[in-house]
Amino acid sequence: MIDLENLTIKKARKALDEKVFSAVDLARAYLVEIEKKNTELNAYLEVYDDVLEQARQADERIAKGESYPLLGIPLAVKDVILIKGRKVSAASKILENYTASYNATVIDKLKKQGAVFLGRTNTDEFALGSSTENSAYGATKNPHDYLRVAGGTSGGSAAAVASLMALGALGSDTGGSVRLPAAFCGIVGFKPTYGRVSRHGLIAAASSLDCIGPIAKTVEDAQIIFDAIYGHDVLDSTSITDTTYSKPPLKKIIGVPWDLINQEGIDPEIKENFKKTVKSFENLGFKIKDIKLPNCIALYYIINFAEVSTNLARFDGMRYGLHKDGSNLLQDYFLTKGSGFGKESRRRILLGTYVLSAGYYDAYYGKAQKARVALRKEFRELFSEVDLVLTPTSPIPAWKIGEKSDPLSVYLADIFTVTANIVGVPGISIPSGFVQIGDKKLPLGIQFMASHGGEDLLFKIGQEFESIKDGP
């Protein structure tokens, strides 16, 4: 029996190279867990039927003496990332039977290393949401409390890793979609600098915000996956290189936006947990500086709606995906989009159409673009004073499935995470403890942001935090 509970990518690599167990043994152990738990949790939308064959090929490469950090490591992939010849649906009815005709760049990179893909994981439809409740295939449940959401939008990936149904996973993060579910499920979620990881082959939600990022049990594991997938790609015109951003000198100062954290609407237990966390960094010798950060929810959602409505316009039932036949071409469009898109997608398409329409464009989208430029400038100045910005990942712990019927109240859960996407800086969510609610312990997370290109610093501080949290 492989001890999956305490297994990390790092440990699995060692065991595979030393032939303690084979990639097939490891894949089989995960398939057993999936078989036991997935019907209830709904983390995977599809478990691939060739997992053991992939693992066997990895074993062959290991036998030949090859070794890559992810060779033979079983990973889950969010259902918005294309793997050639496999279904990818963005958890939408409009792409229910769509098969990818090429590999995303991240998939090519993982295949080169010999990672084993277990299956595709649930998400809010087209990665629009914060809880994975907007999936056309049902919500993913939180492994810590089956009555609660796993967070979103990469809820399937987070729940799979947290419930030992995968050793690591890929998610995508448009406004917190890797970090928030990682926090709700008690694991690590990492959002890279905008452009650091190629989006070629990622189904776009909001193109100026989207990033692909790893979800893993430890900071070190997240770094191993990140190291495998990042890099410049000619197929993504927003791709950056190692030298795009220069690194500011370290000051050992962490900025904390106390105004934003101390306001109403932030759960008192989260505030308390956060204050404890801040203290522990003070004990490590960091200086804490009170900084000002604005609430960026309005700004974020205007840009999100606008870009989502533009990106989703391509799903018209003409070339692939769902097609509903009407009496003429226009009717085909209406019927296909009307029945193919779920409620939240339809809502955001209309909101995006609204903020981009003549008469409202300047007031909403134009103003938001200006505010975004101003915020980027503020952040450049901010990171000349502090190395990192620390906040809770979410203002509230995982909520009950179906509890939030008002879409605005769900949007507000993104208050701490959207800023990194607006500005394009990297962020990480790390488990920071638990809150007891009834007989359940729900995980909490903290989030660090660093300046553009500051991934290394996030991994370093993350590992430092893990070591003090787990005790000496």
Partner 1 sequence: MNIKDVENLAQLARIELGEEEKKDILSDMESILGYIKQIEEVKIENIKPDYNLRNVWREDKEEVCEFSSELITGQFPDAQDGFLKVKKIL
Where do contacts with partner 1 occur on this chain (CB under 8 A)? 84-85, 98-103, 234, 237-238, 294, 297-299, 301-302, 309, 313, 316-321, 323, 328-330, 332-335, 337-339, 341, 343, 346-347, 349-351, 353-355, 357, 363-364, 366-371, 373-374, 377, 406-408, 411
The structure tokens listed for 195 are 């452009």
Q: How near is the Cβ of 114 to partner 1 at its closest, in Å?
A: 18
3-state secondary structure of 293: coil
Q: Which is nearer to partner 1, 69 or 176 (CB)?
A: 176
CA 384 to chain centre: 28
Please state, in angstroms and rounded to a whole number, the distance separating the CA atoms of residues 56 and 6.
Answer: 24
Q: Which is nearer to partner 1, 320 or 434 (CB)?
A: 320
Q: Which is nearer to partner 1, 114 or 433 (CB)?
A: 114
Q: How near is the Cβ of 276 to partner 1 at its closest, in Å?
A: 32
Q: Which is nearer to partner 1, 82 or 215 (CB)?
A: 82
Nearest Cα neighbor of 345 from 154, 37, 123 is 123
Which regions of 105-235 does DSSP assign to beta strands (E)?
Answer: 116-121, 141-142, 145-149, 168-173, 188-191, 211-216
Q: Which is nearer to partner 1, 248 or 317 (CB)?
A: 317
Q: Which is nearer to partner 1, 37 or 200 (CB)?
A: 200
Residue that the structure tokens 């949401």 belong to: 129
Q: Which is nearer to partner 1, 289 or 367 (CB)?
A: 367
Q: How near is the Cβ of 43 to partner 1 at its closest, in Å?
A: 27
Cα dist. 109→106, 115, 178, 200 in Å?
5, 9, 20, 12
Q: How near is the Cβ of 429 to partner 1 at its closest, in Å?
A: 25
Q: How many residues are listed for the chain in this entry?
A: 472
Q: How near is the Cβ of 120 to partner 1 at its closest, in Å?
A: 17
Q: How near is the Cβ of 260 to partner 1 at its closest, in Å?
A: 15
Cα dihedral 223, 224, 225, 226, rounded to 10, equals: 40
Please state, in angstroms and rounded to a whole number, the distance separating the CA atoms of residues 255 and 289.
Answer: 5
Which helix (H) or strand (E) element contains residue 278? Answer: helix 268-283
The structure tokens listed for 81 are 């990332």
CA 230 to chain centre: 15
Q: How near is the Cβ of 363 to partner 1 at its closest, in Å?
A: 6
Please state, in angstroms and rounded to a whole number, the distance separating the CA atoms of residues 140 and 181.
Answer: 11
Q: How near is the Cβ of 213 to partner 1 at its closest, in Å?
A: 22
Residue that the structure tokens 């990022």 belong to: 213
Q: Which is nearer to partner 1, 22 or 103 (CB)?
A: 103
DSSP structure class, residue 201: T
